[in-house]
Amino acid sequence: MHHRIFIALNISDNLKSEIDKWKEKFKKNFTVTFNKIRWIKNENLHITLIPPFYASETDFQNLIEVIEEVVSRFSSFDINFYNISYGPNLFNPRLIWITANATKEIFILKDALIDNMAKLGFLKKSDLRLRRDFLPHLTIARFNQFDFKYFNVKKIDEEFEFKERLNEVILFESILKKEGAEYKILKKFNLKK
C-alpha cells in the first residue's frame, strides 16, 4: 500500500496563538467570508519543504534514515513571517496564507533533502515542482475558489510580523478526505540547538 506523505517544518505554540488572534479578528469583521472558509487545525499548521509524494510502507525505514541523516547536519534557524494574504495569487485565490522571508538555511535544508532522497529513488531531482520558486509560507485556511464571489472581503494584505525559531522537521502522511486533507505525524526530527 502506498501512502501520500510530505516533509515540513513545525511551528511554535506562540505562533499558533498569534494566528488564532488574527482569525478571531477576521471572523468578527467578515462573517460571510468566514463561513465559507475551512480553517487548518493548529496541530496541522506547518511550512512544507517537500510537497506530497507517494511511498510504500517498506520504504518508510529507508526514508526515515535519509531524513534523520540530513536533519542531523542542520542547526535550528530563524525565519521572519511578514504578511497575511489570499494565495497562491490574486487571480486564483483558494487559500489564506502567511508568507515568510526565504532564508539561506531553509533553501540549503530543502536542497539537501531533495538531493539525498533522489539518490535513493524517493524523488526525481528533475521534478520541477520541487525546484520551483520556493516561498516559505503557512497555509492557515482553504476555500473553494468558486465561493470567493460570495466573500465580503476581496483582498487581504496585512502585516503579520513574527520571528519564529524553527527547531523541528516532521514527516507527515496526508490522508485525502471529502472535507479536506487530514494530516498524521509519522516521525519528528529535531534540528540541532
Q: What is the mean pLDDT of residues 85-108?
A: 91
Residue 9 has what pLDDT?
97
4-60 per-position pLDDT tens digit: 999 999 999 999 999 999 998 888 777 666 677 889 999 999 999 998 888 888 888
Q: What is the mean pLDDT of residues 103-123?
A: 89
pLDDT, mean over the chain: 89
Q: What is the mean pLDDT of residues 140-153?
A: 86
Residue 92 has what pLDDT?
83
Torsion of CA 11, 14, 18, 19, to 10 degrees: 30
Q: Is pLDDT at 116 greater than 80 in this prediction?
A: yes
Buried b (16+ CB within 10 A) or exposed e, 95-119: bbbbbbeeeebbeebbbebbebbbe
pLDDT bracket for residue 130 (50, 70, 90): low
**Residue of 129, 135, 69 lying closest to 106 (CA atoms):** 135
DSSP state letter for 87? E
In angstroms, the CA 36 to CA 48 distance is: 24
Residue 120 has what pLDDT?
82
Residue 154 has what pLDDT?
85
- The segment with the largest mean pLDDT, out of 60-64, 79-83, 175-179, is 79-83
In angstroms, the CA 117 to CA 71 distance is: 12
Q: Is pLDDT at 132 greater than 70 in this prediction?
A: no
76-93 per-position pLDDT tens digit: 999 999 999 999 887 889
Q: Is pLDDT at 153 greater than 80 in this prediction?
A: yes
